[in-house]
């Protein structure tokens, strides 16, 4: 079983920044692709950013240039640095670890961008 624990969400004004963290209990963490998703009220869950163990990265077009995903394999942790936040970034953010046979999800952390 894998546990993913997110932290770092909160309320921030437009233009502000937040840093999300996701700590994983899985051994061989470097072997797995880690992804941040988000889900806004009334909308489907969408991919935000993904990073492989080797550091290959992809972003959703909506966050390119504003968000940065990174990972510390020794700490089994993935991060999402979010800058220039917009009200439309408001959502519950989830981290995901995908194995060959399962998807594991964290409990989610709320990010609210509002003045």
- The whole-angstrom separation of Cα 84 and Cα 66 is 6
CB within 8 Å of 27: residues ≥ 6 apart: none
Q: What is the pLDDT along the chain (115 residues), one digit of tens a residue?
A: 889 999 999 999 999 999 999 999 978 898 899 999 999 999 999 999 999 998 999 999 999 999 999 999 999 999 999 999 999 999 999 999 988 888 999 999 999 999 9
- The whole-angstrom separation of Cα 5 and Cα 23 is 5
- What number of other Cβ atoms are within 10 A of residue 17's Cβ? 11
pLDDT of residue 104: 94
């Amino acid at each position: 079983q894998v546990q993913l624990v997110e932290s770092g969400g909160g309320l921030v004004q437009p233009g502000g920044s937040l840093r999300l963290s996701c700590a994983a209990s899985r051994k061989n963490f470097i072997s797995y692709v880690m992804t941040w998703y988000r889900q806004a009220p009334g909308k489907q869950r969408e991919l935000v950013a993904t990073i492989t163990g080797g550091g290959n990265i992809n972003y959703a077009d909506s966050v390119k240039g504003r968000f940065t995903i990174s990972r510390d394999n020794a700490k089994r942790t993935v991060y999402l640095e979010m800058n220039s936040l917009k009200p439309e970034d408001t959502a519950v953010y989830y981290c995901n670890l995908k194995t060959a046979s399962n998807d594991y999800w964290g409990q989610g952390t709320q990010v609210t961008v509002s003045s």
